[in-house]
Chains A and B, each alone.
Chain A
Amino acid sequence: MSRLVVGPFNRVEGDLEVRIEAEAGQVSSAWVNSPMYRGFEQILHGKDPGDALVYAPRICGICSVSQSVAAAHAVRDALGAEAPPNGERLTNLVLAAENLADHFTHFYLFFMPDFARAAYEGRAWHPDVVRRFRAEQGAAATDAVAARAAFMNLMGVLAGKWPHTHTVQAGGAAKGVTGAEKLRVLSLLGQFRRYLEEHTFGDRLETVAALAGGSDLAAWAAERGPEGSDLARFLRVAEDVGLAELGRSHDRFMSYGSYPFQGERLFPGGVFAGGDLMPLDADAIREDLYSSWMSGAREPVHPYEGVTLPDAEREEAYSWCKAPRLAGRPVEVGALARQVVAGHPLIRELVAETGGNVRNRVVARLLELARVVPAMEAWARAIEPGEPFYREPGALQEGEGAGLVEAARGSLGHWIRVHNGRILNYQIVAPTTWNFSPRDRDGVPGPLEAALEGAPVGADERTPVAVQHVVRSFDPCMVCTVH
């Protein structure tokens, strides 16, 4: 048996350390450590609830809008307030822009460069992948980065700036969009659609979104060919490297549901396990502190009752990350979970065939690019300049509320309790907290820890490339994890 400590892990957000034990050329056990603590829950204690909307986006620079939306929804929920339709449309547009930019960045800058590494020299596809995806030097490092920056002009128009906009408010949006700005948004969406259709897919977004199953996807990729389609390029690599057999976890998936409008969600929420879809019971969320450098109750508690107080001396602990569990069990969150819960036929079939794995996580992310851009076009067209974007919700003096949203990486929850106009307790459970949670008191490993078991480890590998694929397939965000 050999032991390895892998880190620092780059092309993930924040710092990450993975400890593995390997036997007979594969990982037998893994421990995931989030090696940094920031303390937002402590920082927010005692603040004015309105000020949470200034602090919360700064939890994370990659999903700052998601944090804003979760905070705004938590305060709105506590007030029993509502946002006007234009405010919901604008919020969905900026949230979607951030989520899609994350998927896009992950694919082009974080995930694919690993296949350009020297470890894959000799594979038929390697020269093409080096040309397209090599870190900092491949063609995509220039053209995809430019396309991403241009797409983020949506944030300039609708939210002033990104990251760390304050446009998203409990009462809706602080920005009234003009007719001219609405046209600008539609143009920017058209520009991004063009990049996706020319490079990422080599096909119409609607065609990709309509793929109904694994054989459909395979036939489409065979017909398309890897030239001029980054998705088809990826599928060729995935087939050759065996990414559908790598990184399978507990296969329990959760989504809070995403992009609400007038009480309906574009992607409905729920829990999917064993081939069945079940309703989500958010009251069954508990955080377990057994393996975390945290002091607090030995019994796992709901976030409304939770505390976040670091204790670096806890001997059995190995991470700053808590271990959230749903009805006592770990769940995987993210684009794959979101789409399997929402019932997309392609993702349902891929999961039925091979479960949650490296390939399927990447396919689900790219599918969301194809599914959400048309939804954004519809929200933008429906904006009614001159109608309100914001409705004053009043000041929050007493009460509690939850903001449950879907960030790119999965389910993000903020829970707030307010007393005498001050934050009494604020607890945050981020997507990577779910996915990269450490073992709970029953010894059950978190989703990534489980997904790493069985990953191949070469005899002379100190930073096994398969481990890197599995880790990055979750698109982790460590700064969120530790707030």
Chain B
Amino acid sequence: MAASEREDGFTVLWLQSGGCGGCTMSLLCAEAPDLFTTLDSAGIRFLWHPSFSEATGEEVTAMLEAVCAGETRLDALCVEGSLLRGPNGTGRFHVLAGTDTPMVRWVERLAAVARYTLAIGTCAAFGGVTSAGPNPTEACGLQYEGEQSGGLLGDAYRSGAGLPVINVAGCPTHPGWVLETLMTLALDGMGDPLLDDLARPALYTDHLVHHGCARNEYYEYKASAEVPSDLGCMMEHMGCLGTQARADCNIRPWNGTGSCTDGGYPCVNCTAPEFEEPGHHFLETPKVAGIPIGLPTDMPKAWFVALASLAKSATPRRVRENAVADHIVNSPAKEHDGE
């Protein structure tokens, strides 16, 4: 029987801890159809969501206890935000209001009874921005701490359905990534989601941010932007990691139409662990002997150097001049001879 045909639907409990709430705000940007229509049509029902549900206070703690006791079925536990283990492992940096109990202890109990456990956003997946710098709150992800498997629940954790934590990473995560992952789980017939090597749903990490980037012609010719608002490719000088970042941001639009590269700024690879500490200025490309250290995924360095050199020498004037302007100064129609 499909989950959507069950009397009470596919039940989701959503909790927020050491994050900014941005993944929920992003979820609200789901469009055509809107969030609640999408959930309803897939038979997905929130047991509780901190931003949307009517229940508050003791109604919520009673519900949480009923879930932990197995009286209420929990299909998917969604955790947004890092898990705050500090100070000194006590979890006191986030005590769930009204319960006198650290959120990490609630998450451990709930994850033990959930059929699926989902990390919503890079904070919950890998620790994210909350774990940056000296990591003052001992923040980690549900099953990762940066690139290292483990995190709060440990490497061996498997949810009721036998899966590791599903990492719907992104800072924020895209509403489509969350909803399609939940829908895949809710519609039993579609089976379990395909996960990549960091347990992220392959439905969006089978792509690179580079795919569909509107700046691809500039990339082809290595015609590079030099300052913010320039139209050129941002890989060479401005730290753009779109050729290495796994996500479909330039195929699946954000807010109807955009992406980071469309907004004029480089991809910082926010779906990846440890993106929050690149080891250099976010908006600068580290280089050795003039060659970027981070090369496009799958590309041998020698080929990159050869192709870049060839491409630069073949760059049309139109592309070269537009790359360092904030608007089109040479349109294709104006140029007939290529130089």
Q: Which A residues lie at the B interface, using CB under 8 A?
A: 5-11, 13-17, 33, 35-39, 42-48, 50-51, 54-55, 58-62, 64, 105, 109-110, 113, 116-117, 134-137, 141-142, 145-146, 148-150, 152-167, 169, 171-176, 178, 184, 310, 312, 320, 385-386, 388-390, 392, 462-463, 468, 477, 479
A36-B21 contact given A109-B52, A153-B256, CB 8 Å threshold: no
Query: Interface digits, B264-298 against A, CB 8 Å rule (1 contact, 0 not)?
Result: 11001010000010000111000000000000000
Q: Do the beta carbons of B97 and A16 come within 8 Å of each other?
A: yes
CA distance A134 to B36 in the complex (A): 13
CA distance A463 to B23 in the complex (A): 27
Q: Do the beta carbons of A61 and B263 come within 8 Å of each other?
A: no
CA distance A113 to B136 in the complex (A): 37
Q: Do the beta carbons of A173 and B51 come within 8 Å of each other?
A: no
- Tell me if B's interface is mostly helix, strand, loop or mixed: loop
| B37 adjacent to chain A (CB < 8 Å) | yes
13 contacts between A and B (CB under 8 A): A7-B57, A7-B97, A15-B96, A60-B20, A60-B22, A61-B20, A109-B52, A148-B29, A163-B22, A164-B171, A166-B263, A389-B229, A392-B227
| B179 adjacent to chain A (CB < 8 Å) | no
**With a CB–CB cut-off of 8 A, which chain A residues contact B204?**
none
Q: Do the beta carbons of B34 and A149 come within 8 Å of each other?
A: yes
A164-B172 contact given A54-B282, A136-B46, CB 8 Å threshold: yes
Q: Do the beta carbons of B37 and A142 come within 8 Å of each other?
A: yes
Please pick, from B16, B171, B228, B258, the residue contacting A157 in the complex, using a CB distance under 8 A. B258
| B24 adjacent to chain A (CB < 8 Å) | yes
CA distance A62 to B34 in the complex (A): 18
Please pick, from A35, A113, A160, A167, the residue contacting B94 in the complex, using a CB distance under 8 A. A35
Q: Do the beta carbons of B34 and A145 come within 8 Å of each other?
A: yes
| B165 adjacent to chain A (CB < 8 Å) | no
Please pick, from B48, B60, B103, B229, the residue contacting A175 in the complex, using a CB distance under 8 A. B229
Please pick, from A14, A39, A60, A388, the residue contacting B136 in the complex, using a CB distance under 8 A. A39
A290 CB to nearest chain B CB (Å): 19
A-B complex: 8 closest residue pairs judged by Cβ atoms: A160-B263, A61-B22, A7-B97, A7-B98, A463-B57, A156-B255, A156-B258, A176-B326
Q: Do the beta carbons of B264 and A160 come within 8 Å of each other?
A: yes
Chain A residue, CB-CB nearest to B261: A160
Please pick, from B21, B59, B94, B265, the residue contacting A60 in the complex, using a CB distance under 8 A. B21
Q: Do the beta carbons of A61 and B57 come within 8 Å of each other?
A: no
Counting chain A CB atoms within 10 Å of each CB, the highest count among B16, B33, B137, B258 belongs to B258
Chain A residue, CB-CB nearest to B326: A176
Q: Do the beta carbons of B134 and A33 come within 8 Å of each other?
A: no
Q: Do the beta carbons of B327 and A385 come within 8 Å of each other?
A: yes
Q: Do the beta carbons of A463 and B263 come within 8 Å of each other?
A: no
Chain B residue, CB-CB nearest to A114: B54
Chain B residue, CB-CB nearest to A58: B129
Please pick, from B18, B36, B90, the residue contacting A36 in the complex, using a CB distance under 8 A. B18
Q: Which B residues lie at the A interface, using CB under 8 A?
A: 16-26, 28-31, 33-37, 46, 48-61, 84, 87, 90, 92-99, 103, 129-130, 132-134, 136-137, 171-172, 227-229, 231, 249, 253-265, 268, 270, 276, 281-283, 326-328
A43-B53 contact given A36-B17, A161-B258, CB 8 Å threshold: no
**With a CB–CB cut-off of 8 A, which chain B residues contact A166?**
260, 263, 265, 268
Q: Do the beta carbons of B97 and A149 come within 8 Å of each other?
A: no
CA distance A14 to B96 in the complex (A): 10
CA distance A15 to B282 in the complex (A): 31
Counting chain A CB atoms within 10 Å of each CB, the highest count among B256, B257, B326 belongs to B326
Please pick, from A11, A37, A137, A164, the residue contacting B56 in the complex, using a CB distance under 8 A. A11
CA distance A463 to B326 in the complex (A): 54
A407 CB to nearest chain B CB (Å): 13
**With a CB–CB cut-off of 8 A, which chain A residues contact B17?**
36
**With a CB–CB cut-off of 8 A, which chain B residues contact A109?**
51-52
CA distance A5 to B56 in the complex (A): 12
**With a CB–CB cut-off of 8 A, which chain A residues contact B84?**
36-38
Please pick, from B19, B52, B61, B229, the residue contacting A61 in the complex, using a CB distance under 8 A. B19
Q: Do the beta carbons of A146 and B134 come within 8 Å of each other?
A: no
Please pick, from B31, B50, B259, the residue contacting A10 in the complex, using a CB distance under 8 A. B50
Q: Do the beta carbons of A149 and B53 come within 8 Å of each other?
A: no
CA distance A462 to B263 in the complex (A): 47
A437 CB to nearest chain B CB (Å): 17
**With a CB–CB cut-off of 8 A, which chain A residues contact B61?**
8
CA distance A142 to B65 in the complex (A): 30
Counting chain B CB atoms within 10 Å of each CB, the highest count among A17, A145, A388 belongs to A145
A395 CB to nearest chain B CB (Å): 10
Please pick, from B28, B36, B55, the residue contacting A142 in the complex, using a CB distance under 8 A. B36
Chain B residue, CB-CB nearest to A144: B34
**With a CB–CB cut-off of 8 A, which chain A residues contact B90?**
312
CA distance A267 to B16 in the complex (A): 34
B254 CB to nearest chain A CB (Å): 4
A161-B23 contact given A33-B97, A58-B129, CB 8 Å threshold: no
Q: Do the beta carbons of B16 and A14 come within 8 Å of each other?
A: yes
**With a CB–CB cut-off of 8 A, which chain B residues contact A48?**
281
A61-B51 contact given A13-B21, A161-B260, CB 8 Å threshold: no
B183 CB to nearest chain A CB (Å): 17
**With a CB–CB cut-off of 8 A, which chain A residues contact B21?**
13-14, 60-62, 477, 479
Q: Do the beta carbons of A171 and B228 come within 8 Å of each other?
A: yes
A58-B98 contact given A43-B132, A43-B134, A462-B57, CB 8 Å threshold: no
**With a CB–CB cut-off of 8 A, which chain B residues contact A463?**
56-59
CA distance A37 to B231 in the complex (A): 40
CA distance A184 to B58 in the complex (A): 46
Q: Do the beta carbons of B20 and A64 come within 8 Å of each other?
A: yes
A149-B30 contact given A6-B98, A142-B36, A167-B264, CB 8 Å threshold: yes
**With a CB–CB cut-off of 8 A, which chain B residues contact A159?**
258, 263
